[in-house]
Amino acid sequence: MANTGNRYRGSITDYAGFDANQDAEALYTAMKGFGSDKEAILELITSRSNKQRQEICQSYKSLYGKDLIDDLKYELTGKFERLIVGLMRPLAYFDAKEIKDAISGIGTDEKCLIEILASRTNKQIHQLAEAYKDAYERNLEEDVIADTSGHFKKMLVVLLQGTREEDDVVSEDLVAQDVKDLYEAGELKWGTDEAQFIYILGNRSKQHLRLVFDEYLKTTGIPIEASIRGELSGDFEKLMLSVVKCIRSTPEYFAERLFKAMKGLGTRDNTLIRIMVSRSELDMLDIREVFRTKYEKSLYSMIKNDTSGEYKKALLKLCGGDDDAAGQFFPEAAKVAYQMWELSAVARVELKGTVRPTPDFDPEADAKALRKAMKGLGKGNAGKTCWGAINKEKSPSESSLAISGTDEDTIIDIVTHRSNDQRQQIRQTFKSHYGRDLMADLKSEISGNLAKLILGLMMPPAHYDAKQLKKAMEGAGTDEQALIEILATRNNQEIQAINEAYQEDYHKSLEDDLTSDTSGHLKRILVSLATGNRDEGPENSDQAREDAQEIADTTSSGDKPSLETRFMSILCSRSYQHLRRVFQEFIKMTNHDVEHTIKKEMSGDVRDALVTIVQSVKNKPLFFADKLYKSMKGAGTDEKTLTRIMVSRSEIDLLNIRREFIEKYDKSLHHVIESDNSGDYLKALLALCGGED
């Protein structure tokens, strides 16, 4: 039984008044005759601890001369059978069976191997190896070696030794040395020294490695996960990332695995069963806490919505209960969330774009190549008008195609591989050499989504943002989401540049247009953000506590207008660093998360605007990763949002956005873009994306 300190954290406990013979008789009765009483079987088995189930197996054999597991297999079918039979095995034998299934037959279930071997303790690994030998009369290590290869195999063998250090006394000198060795083995080396990663991550104690990961981030500005993704690949990369996740927090690792097993179309039942069976007497309560904190819903509710029948009932019994409303933490989870903010406050994550200045830049050569790529221009004005007319008549499905005779590949290659400063030099050179406006020429040669992307990249960032804001307010209806996204995520310097560009391009002030085009609290929030006057100083601990207390008091008063005003005055004016401390103090005071409180207490555009600010403060790259995912999921693509984010973040933090994307959605941004777009627009998007993760 797992303990956190002295507290048992499993969801299944010993059944009071347990009588093995009585239970064996009840199961025999439930399976007697035509059909079986599945309800009685699941109720009994999920109400007993594993130790008690083993006693029931013994009694069943003594009373009836039969094997209980064999009878259960005969009577039950499908997922329900797999779950119930899994519960009847001792944990080590359950793990042994899962691994045997993973490496038997054609192909290997690497995800199962990774999950079990990355998450088990030394003692559990030793018990697993013994159970495997006892059950199958084979050596576990030899079977794993025969079925895997390369560095993946080497790391699995290291984990199978079950010799991870368990000393809680950590040497600061060794931490510093390990950080240096990992950095030199990966980021600083041409090629990667995988042996160093294997040795350090496979042998050092959890306490030691947590300090190594923290120090690695402080020293290099790069999370260890990002280095692993950049330096390793395939199953070896997945294994090492799983090891890191389990070192940081085993319950969080399993919460994430459970979420991914149930999200989207179809359920990964083998994963769901394996985790619910294996963690029910170890840390299921911790997993539930993390799950609700991280995914804004209880594990219980997700299982309930994603499964059915007796299978669902049994899983819910193992889960052990539904949790309170989303956004309210257990005291333990509130403490974890507080510590997460503490760590994020000291983390120095370097923001990186995917587009960088090209070395050996030659604006004359680029201008010449672009001129040559736009062959239609040689036809003079009449030709140009003709082509433009054809362009306008294209159907939406053809809108990303450019005009025949244009070398789109060259245009895409040059524009997506130059920094914005370099693109401005190309524009100037083009005008000096040819007496023509490059933007106008591009506009006459390409159309649709490709044109919006390429022309967006050719504009200075502030002018591009100004144009997006103007378009969001033009015509019938306002695109509030675009206004919110831009104004809530730009810093003071960027906002001031946008104001100047807006005035220059449209001869009116951004504030006036916002005032005439929006209303109510949303107008006040957007106008406040558009002043670009956010405090930029460090946090003030006393002020942060006061701010958190004000929000908490106004929330409990139930006065919605006052709550909106209070949130606006704090979220639109305080520095990001200070706001992180406010969020932290709010959790400490109320056991609630600010974001969940806003979602619960508010509605409409005001809610969306305030949530965007909060998400941007918490983790801006993750906010944009979510927006990109939503722009492409489901039927149809929101090309406006996709283009806007890819253009505006390509030189700021698109690499960080990519990392957050794959971390959250278990698929790369490159892959999702590729699956959801086509033609030259796709080529340009992938060039901006900058690579597969």
pLDDT score, position 384? 36
Partners of residue 406 on adjacent β-strands: 374
Name the residue among 200, 191, 199 with its Cα closest to residue 231: 191
Task: Give the model confidence (pLDDT) of 507-550 as tens digits.
Answer: 999 999 999 999 999 999 999 999 999 999 888 999 999 999 99
CB atoms within 10 A of CB 475: 8
Q: Which residues of 254-286 are buried (b: 16+ CB within 10 A; e: fewer)?
A: bbbbbbebbeeeebbbbbbbbbbbbbbbbbbbb
Task: Give the model confidence (pLDDT) of 584-631 as tens digits.
Answer: 889 888 878 888 889 888 999 999 999 999 999 988 999 999 999 999
Detail the DSSP E strand segments found in 378-421: none
Partners of residue 437 on adjacent β-strands: none
Partners of residue 8 on adjacent β-strands: 3
pLDDT score, position 236? 95
Average pLDDT (562-578) is 93
pLDDT score, position 392? 37
Cα–Cα distance for residue pair 487/492, rounded to 1 Å: 10
Task: Give the model confidence (pLDDT) of 53-75 as tens digits.
Answer: 999 999 999 999 999 999 999 99
Partners of residue 7 on adjacent β-strands: 4
Q: What 3-state class would DSSP assign to 7?
A: strand
pLDDT of 8 higher than 50? yes
Structure-block tokens of residue 295:
């995914």
pLDDT score, position 321? 84
- Pick the range with the lowest mean pLDDT from 17-21, 302-306, 381-385, 466-470: 381-385
Cα–Cα distance for residue pair 540/575, rounded to 1 Å: 10
pLDDT score, position 669? 96
> Phi-psi category of 655—alpha, beta or left, where left has phi over 0 and alpha has psi -120 to 50?
alpha
pLDDT of 261 higher than 50? yes
- Amino acid present at 508: K
CB atoms within 10 A of CB 493: 11
Average pLDDT (653-677) is 90
- Pick the range with the lowest mean pLDDT from 423-427, 482-486, 683-687, 689-693: 689-693
Residues 6+ apart with CB under 8 A from 380: none
CB atoms within 10 A of CB 205: 16
Distance of CA 117 to the CA centre of its chain: 23
Residues 6+ apart with CB under 8 A from 119: 242, 246, 250, 253, 254
Average pLDDT (119-125) is 97
Task: Give the model confidence (pLDDT) of 458-475 as tens digits.
Answer: 999 999 999 999 999 997
Average pLDDT (97-121) is 92
Cα–Cα distance for residue pair 371/327, rounded to 1 Å: 56
Mean pLDDT of the chain: 89
Structure-block tokens of residue 339:
């510590």
pLDDT of 315 higher than 50? yes
Q: Compare 554 and 106 and report the one with higher pLDDT.
A: 554
Task: Give the model confidence (pLDDT) of 204-239 as tens digits.
Answer: 999 999 999 999 998 988 889 988 988 888 999 999
pLDDT of 393 higher than 60? no
pLDDT of 378 higher than 50? no
Cα–Cα distance for residue pair 86/274, rounded to 1 Å: 8
pLDDT score, position 106? 76
Task: Give the model confidence (pLDDT) of 154-173 as tens digits.
Answer: 999 999 999 999 987 888 99
Number of residues that this document lists for the chain: 693
Structure-block tokens of residue 352:
């990186």
> What pTM was computed for the model?
0.71
pLDDT score, position 349? 64
pLDDT score, position 58? 97
Partners of residue 165 on adjacent β-strands: none
Q: What is the DSSP letter of 357?
A: P
pLDDT of 343 higher than 60? no
pLDDT score, position 4? 46
pLDDT score, position 591? 77
Name the residue among 143, 33, 42 with its Cα closest to residue 86: 42
Partners of residue 569 on adjacent β-strands: none
With pLDDT > 70 as the criterion, what percentage of the chain qualifies? 90
pLDDT score, position 457? 98
pLDDT of 296 higher than 90? no
